[in-house]
Amino acid sequence: MAGNTFGTLFKIMTFGESHGVAIGGVLDGCPAGIPLDLKAIQNDLNRRKPGQSAIVTQRKEPDTVEFFSGVFEGKTTGTPIGFAIRNTNQKSQDYSHIKDSYRPSHADYVYDKKYGFRDYRGGGRSSARETASRVVAGAIAKQFISTIKINAFVSQVGDLKLDKTYKNLDLSLTESNPVRCPDPFMAKEMEELIKKIKKEGDTVGGVITCVVQNVPVGLGEPVFDKLHADLGKAMLSINAVKGFEYGSGFEGVKMTGSQHNDQFNSDGSTKTNHSGGIQGGISNGMDIYFNVAFKPVATIIQPYETIDKEGYMVKTQGKGRHDPCVVPRAVPIVEAMAALVLADFALLNRTVKL
Amino acid sequence: MAGNTFGTLFKIMTFGESHGVAIGGVLDGCPAGIPLDLKAIQNDLNRRKPGQSAIVTQRKEPDTVEFFSGVFEGKTTGTPIGFAIRNTNQKSQDYSHIKDSYRPSHADYVYDKKYGFRDYRGGGRSSARETASRVVAGAIAKQFISTIKINAFVSQVGDLKLDKTYKNLDLSLTESNPVRCPDPFMAKEMEELIKKIKKEGDTVGGVITCVVQNVPVGLGEPVFDKLHADLGKAMLSINAVKGFEYGSGFEGVKMTGSQHNDQFNSDGSTKTNHSGGIQGGISNGMDIYFNVAFKPVATIIQPYETIDKEGYMVKTQGKGRHDPCVVPRAVPIVEAMAALVLADFALLNRTVKL
Amino acid sequence: MAGNTFGTLFKIMTFGESHGVAIGGVLDGCPAGIPLDLKAIQNDLNRRKPGQSAIVTQRKEPDTVEFFSGVFEGKTTGTPIGFAIRNTNQKSQDYSHIKDSYRPSHADYVYDKKYGFRDYRGGGRSSARETASRVVAGAIAKQFISTIKINAFVSQVGDLKLDKTYKNLDLSLTESNPVRCPDPFMAKEMEELIKKIKKEGDTVGGVITCVVQNVPVGLGEPVFDKLHADLGKAMLSINAVKGFEYGSGFEGVKMTGSQHNDQFNSDGSTKTNHSGGIQGGISNGMDIYFNVAFKPVATIIQPYETIDKEGYMVKTQGKGRHDPCVVPRAVPIVEAMAALVLADFALLNRTVKL
Amino acid sequence: MAGNTFGTLFKIMTFGESHGVAIGGVLDGCPAGIPLDLKAIQNDLNRRKPGQSAIVTQRKEPDTVEFFSGVFEGKTTGTPIGFAIRNTNQKSQDYSHIKDSYRPSHADYVYDKKYGFRDYRGGGRSSARETASRVVAGAIAKQFISTIKINAFVSQVGDLKLDKTYKNLDLSLTESNPVRCPDPFMAKEMEELIKKIKKEGDTVGGVITCVVQNVPVGLGEPVFDKLHADLGKAMLSINAVKGFEYGSGFEGVKMTGSQHNDQFNSDGSTKTNHSGGIQGGISNGMDIYFNVAFKPVATIIQPYETIDKEGYMVKTQGKGRHDPCVVPRAVPIVEAMAALVLADFALLNRTVKL
């Protein structure tokens, strides 16, 4: 089983190590008849790819996706869509420093213990490189649920936190800066902070906020497969994520019911939206919004002490070209996972009535 | 499909409306040969049941579970365990006030829209009453993974937040007070707050912290079925939950990598535990700890305005016997869902090596 | 996991041993809004139940089903339907003769080896009694796909084989005799054969043919979940089944392609139907027909030699009230499993186009 | 969903049309640490590939598999194994004769009806070409369950049927002739028949028998996922299969229980094996054997009449290089599907006891 499948009807199985031949996946259950915009897919890949700006890793990988099947005369056929992205930049790397020792707060140690050994090159399967496959599938999902609008953006880097809600932001500005924060002034501050952190060979965490608009009423399958429960799992499955909250979230616990309850308008919409667009696990037509917390990347360009396979302490040094802060590149990943969840629930929702 | 199944190998399907004949479920995949302590199961049910103290709903329901199958001569047989809990206290209720109108921040509206109509009695399937089935299954899961210790407790009610970590608390005190907060002084304050809120006919939110100890290295199935991703989904599927974070959580985003990374000891344990016992989605043997945010219960005993099925505004009044704060009774639910996730991953982990 | 779930969207999980408290199940994914005819469900149970005629086991079990949930004001609500059938006739049984020894061609031996021990009373989970739960769920499925007609009947008992195809039979006569063979003359012969076999304390096998009419074009999900592949699995999962063939079946291998190909009429129907209503795993709108082979029941009322748990040879004697031939009572089970498969594919087929 | 996933723990998702860019798949859940013999995999592909002898289709396709992931230093890593086989021989084909009309007894018509349109080139997804992906995955499964021996062979072509059971055949001779029948004399007759049929531009059906030896006691997960039920589904999911029987099969229905029951030896083995190595859905350690019926291939090189998309009758002519009889090339496919089922149940069986 091994956990590399996501979704019930709109379903992907992904494969690939960071330094193997290729990464990719198969998307099964994508409905037939969707005119596929390949440029839009590549565009989302480009938003995720390394080397796109000065504040992300400087690795050069074109991340060009090749489709093998499931598309004919420009449209999806209802059959599985196989795809792969070749790994092109992995040849010259030197991994001797991680082959026999475990990097702190990486998955090296647990992979060795769980599987008996591991593909140590660049983190192998535990590398965030696998998320490129998610972006491909998510970009197709977006085209299936094309009336739903999904916009993620960076709302916090380290201590720098946007004090505006998404309603008071112009989300069309998200892509106007390398941080992907829709507030240009805050974006500049965040960029400076990331550059400073990078210069120190260190890393810093951040938060991505995602807003999903124009969602039809009815998506979500209680009691276990509540819409927000699957969104939460989707987000928590992304590398480095430590937390998820939607609607009023952790702050909402301080409120009373009389403050928190969202009163109805006569059309079924609500005057406030502490619920975050979801009631009882089912979308209510209001905006869905949620926050995703990312820890600071574990790879730092500093000397550190760790253990080798035999448990001896070894001194080593982080190297390579890594992200000082993961959130700018994670924005399209958050959107992709949200799109996969919504596409799946959109299909499931077709089956609930006689 | 309809989302009433949880787990891959250690798997439950639950059923039941709050005011139907019974709630219950089937647990499939529970290994054979577990000596089943029925008292321990009933004890967890009692921790969840209504009427247990002055700060919870005063409904009287014995919540006695009847087992139908899967147990023979005191041990599990490896075949499915069917069980039910009769609904006994629903007869006299009056639901005319909710039959034709939608309670704010309840699932009434979305159920009607999704399914065309709904069982309006006491919330039907959307009632938190269904979580009693989870507690039964979770109590069996605890007995399967009996070497793993799972302790949940209330760490916040409204603004009242424990400022100690679980390491500085005596978790054996959790059950010593009706709030289920292991700090007796804070418990008293929380109890007073809940009583005050209750008197106002209002409700308040809270946070439950859960600590899982003695977990073997290796549980979790990346890339999608990461241990914390499934824990997150499990918690978010509980009624009223708005957020989940593990390890350093949302606070961790402010840290740098050099602060956040957990340095190894020579035995593979780590000096700090910002990771929360999970690396790359796989348990590393350290304590797992996480927080679950619960919103204030939507049912308040106050007059309110809402809409009926035709969209007309109606004035009504919350009534009945409801919880002013859900977290004291939700502690065993959090534990149960954690146990179900861990039991499932314990079985899956048997299958990963030649 | 343990294999007690069937279906993807229209999905049941069943439980229960023959001599435990109850058998039953949960049906999840049944669409909302189906007016449920409880008499029709009980009627199918009655067609399966023991004691209904002189040629089946004389055990007396009322097999009355109790529904716990998922139905409100006479209609399905879209939430899971929990149900149970109490075991009422198991008290006085004496199982000392099978507790410590293994009956030949029963599941006793493999259950002990697989699970370490077994509920030996009446076969436990391996008893065909569990199929009553399938009949309940299948009867609901029939009401969901009410325009599809499913008719199973006995076409062979021992050497006695109907030489007419279903097209030359009046299927309305199936229920007119205890064998459930729609040819009254053959039915009489079969009945005599079964009585003779019964008198000898022996058993005999048989074949059930099932015809499914009025199936819409498009059901089935290749490449693995072909309609006939899931029908085959469904039938093979019934106790005592040894074979499945559809359309031309095993006889078809002798034909040439020019004989076997079904030529089209201009409306898309075909002049012949060797395909059995399924092309490439997808229904083509023609009648689906298939045969299911049942072995002779293993329990014979004769002395026999077998081994005990330690491998010592023991002499024993079959006793109790068993079926001399299983096919008359298996007719509603075959129909139920067919209905479950078709209901599931009917839901899945809603999700394949944009 | 769309049915392109097979298996619960040892699980594949496949993709690919016959004339698209590539076919392939992802195998998830393959345990870590299996030394992978790539030549053995390619060897099974070669047994399936076109052009291997005079009695199969003369298309030339190298069917070389490329692995993308999941293998490191010659061993499986426990992560998903992605692979693809490029389509190399499809360029020059002319499909104008099938683009707008439906070939009788092909999937053309139902694909168009189900999905709205279809990739008509060479049958697209409904082509048996997709089974090459199964052979790859099955060949890996064989290496995981390497102590289990799986031998399939041709036991019938048209009317020519082997009158010996597998016990009286030397299965090592199966690969000694192009028919893959272990009886050299019968193989010669079958070969002549196929050549004659081919000359007539016609096709003929056949039966493959498969024998699985050295299976441990305990594989299979009743009640639905019985070992033979999943074997049956696996076989029925192969293109052109019309029937499946195991053990005594359809002939067994004529026997009495006293004849059919398999008496035990003191070591738990049985004196006869009408059960076909499976009791109650669980392997009992005896040989598993089953028959799979294949219809005559629908593509015949003869003129025929059919309908076009508008329902008008059109005259056309089968062309291309097709198999006159599918069974010789289907032998490794049957073995592959059997191996996938057994590998999955081998993993599942690790999880049933405390």
pLDDT at D36 (0 to 100): 97
Please say if the pLDDT value at position B92 is more than 60: no
Tokens 């090459």 belong to which residue? D132
Question: Which chain C residues are within 8 Å of D126, Cβ to Cβ?
Answer: 222, 280-281
* Eight-class DSSP state of D35: B
Provide DSSP, C24-63.
Answer: EEEEE-PPBTPBP-HHHHHHHHHHHSTTSSTTS-------
Measured between alpha carbons, how far is residue B343 from residues A192, B30, B131 in Å?
Answer: 46, 9, 18
Q: pLDDT (tens digit, 9 = 90+) per residue, B132-163? A: 999 999 999 999 999 999 999 999 999 999 99
List A residues 37-76 in contact with D (Cβ-Cβ < 8 A).
Answer: 66-70, 72, 75
CA-nearest residue to C297 within chain D is D257
pLDDT at D90 (0 to 100): 61
Predicted model pTM: 0.98
Strands (E), chain D: 5-6, 11-15, 22-28, 65-67, 71-72, 75-76, 81-86, 149-157, 160-161, 206-213, 241-246, 278-279, 282-283, 288-294, 303-307, 313-317
Q: How far apart are CA D177 and CA D170, in angstroms?
A: 13
pLDDT at A93 (0 to 100): 59
How many residues would you count in chain A? Answer: 354
Determine the 3-state secondary structure of B224 from DSSP.
Answer: coil
Q: What is the mean pLDDT of residues B111-128?
A: 91
Alpha-carbon gap: D186 to the closest alpha carbon of chain B (Å): 41
Determine the 3-state secondary structure of C9 from DSSP.
Answer: coil
Q: What angle in degrees, to the nearest 10, is found between the helix axes of A227-236 and A327-348? A: 150
Q: pLDDT (tens digit, 9 = 90+) per residue, C211-266? A: 999 999 999 999 999 999 999 999 999 999 999 999 999 999 999 999 999 999 99
What range does the domain containing A45 cover? 5-351
Q: Write out the H or E segment, with its range, that includes residue D257.
A: helix D257-260
Cα end-to-end span (Å), chain A: 33
The b/e string for B257-287 (b: 16+ C-beta within 10 A; e otherwise) is bbebbbebeeebebeebbbbbbbbbbbbbbb
Question: Which chain A residues are within 8 Å of D70, Cβ to Cβ?
Answer: 15, 17, 20
CA-nearest residue to A249 within chain B is B242
- Nearest C-alpha neighbor of D221 from the set B343, C281, C13: C13
- Nearest C-alpha neighbor of C313 from the set C102, C106, C118: C102
* Eight-class DSSP state of C270: B
Q: How far apart are CA A87 and CA A92, in angstroms?
A: 12
**Average pLDDT of the residues of chain B:** 95
CB spacing of D207 vs C250 below 8 angstroms: yes
Q: How far apart are CA A232 and CA A223, in angstroms?
A: 15
Instruction: Suggest the residue from D30, D224, D351, D353 to mutate for an interface test with chain B (most B CBs closer than 10 A).
Output: D351
CB spacing of C16 vs B69 below 8 angstroms: yes
Whether the Cβ atoms of residue B82 and residue B68 lie closer than 8 Å to each other: yes
Give me the torsion for CA of C125, C127, C133, C139, rounded to 10°: 150
Instruction: Please give the ipTM for the structure prediction.
Output: 0.97
Q: pLDDT (tens digit, 9 = 90+) per residue, D7-37? A: 999 999 999 999 999 999 999 999 999 999 9
pLDDT along chain A (354 residues), means of 10: 92 96 98 97 95 87 94 97 89 68 94 93 91 98 98 98 97 97 98 97 97 98 98 98 98 97 96 98 98 96 91 85 93 98 98 95
- Nearest C-alpha neighbor of B125 from the set C164, A242, C79: C79
Residue A66: what are its φ and ψ, rounded to 5°?
-110, 130
Provide DSSP, B2-19.
Answer: TT-EE-SSSEEEEE--TT
Please say if the pLDDT value at position B348 is more than 90: yes
pLDDT at A287 (0 to 100): 98
A111-120, C94-103, D191-200, D224-233 — which is least confidently predicted?
A: C94-103
Alpha-carbon gap: A198 to the closest alpha carbon of chain B (Å): 11
Residue B223: what are its φ and ψ, rounded to 5°?
-95, -25
CA-nearest residue to C21 within chain B is B68
Alpha-carbon gap: A82 to the closest alpha carbon of chain D (Å): 6
pLDDT at A6 (0 to 100): 98
- Nearest C-alpha neighbor of A340 from the set A195, A138, A174: A138
pLDDT at C136 (0 to 100): 98
A-B C-beta contacts closer than 8 Å: 363
Q: What is the mean pLDDT of residues B37-46?
A: 97
Q: How far apart are CA C135 and CA C46, in angstroms?
A: 10
Q: Give the helix ranges, DSSP H, for C200-326.
A: 227-236, 257-260
Q: pLDDT (tens digit, 9 = 90+) per residue, C293-303? A: 999 999 999 99
Q: How far apart are CA D242 and CA B17, in angstroms?
A: 44
Residues 6+ apart with CB under 8 A from C325: C55, C157, C158, C194, C197, C203, C204, C205, C206, C296, C297
Determine the 3-state secondary structure of A151 from DSSP.
Answer: strand
Q: Write out the H or E segment, with its range, that includes residue A39.
A: helix A38-48
Q: What is the mean pLDDT of residues C187-205?
A: 97
Of all residues in chain C, the percent with pLDDT exceeding 90 is 86
Residue B30 structure tokens:
């529970």
Q: How far apart are CA B277 and CA D285, in angstroms?
A: 42
Q: Is B122 on the interface with C (CB under 8 A)?
A: no
Q: pLDDT (tens digit, 9 = 90+) per residue, B311-331? A: 899 998 877 778 999 999 999
Q: How far apart are CA A324 and CA A195, in angstroms?
A: 8
Q: Is C312 left (phi over 0), alpha (psi -120 to 50) or beta?
A: beta
User: Domain count of chain B?
Assistant: 1
- Residue B226 one-letter amino acid: K
Q: What angle in degrees, to the nearest 10, is found between the helix axes of A227-236 and B227-236? A: 160
List B residues 270-299 in contact with C (Cβ-Cβ < 8 A).
Answer: none
Q: How far apart are CA B284 and CA B279, in angstroms?
A: 6
> Quick count: other Cβ atoms within 10 Å of Cβ D166?
18
Q: How far apart are CA C271 and CA D212, in angstroms?
A: 40
Q: How far apart are CA A292 and CA B249, in angstroms?
A: 10
Q: How far apart are CA B194 and CA B202, in angstroms?
A: 9
pLDDT at C94 (0 to 100): 63
Please say if the pLDDT value at position D38 is more than 90: yes
Please say if the pLDDT value at position C5 is more than 90: yes
Whether the Cβ atoms of residue D204 and residue C258 lie closer than 8 Å to each other: no
Q: Write out the H or E segment, with its range, that includes residue A293.
A: strand A288-294
Q: What is the mean pLDDT of residues B53-65?
A: 88
Please say if the pLDDT value at position C91 is more than 60: no
CATH number (domain holding residue B209):
3.60.150.10
Q: What is the mean pLDDT of residues B64-71?
A: 97
Tokens 């005011």 belong to which residue? B19
Q: pLDDT (tens digit, 9 = 90+) per residue, C132-184? A: 999 999 999 999 999 999 999 999 999 999 999 999 999 999 999 999 999 99
Q: How far apart are CA B294 and CA A248, in angstroms?
A: 10
List B residues 174-233 in contact with D (Cβ-Cβ < 8 A).
Answer: none
CB spacing of A11 vs D32 below 8 angstroms: no
Q: How confident is the model at residue C340 (pLDDT cuts 50, 70, 90)?
A: very high
CB spacing of C257 vs D156 below 8 angstroms: no
Alpha-carbon gap: D78 to the closest alpha carbon of chain A (Å): 6
Whether the Cβ atoms of residue A255 and residue B205 lie closer than 8 Å to each other: yes
Q: How far apart are CA B91 and CA B89, in angstroms?
A: 6
**Average pLDDT of the residues of chain D:** 95
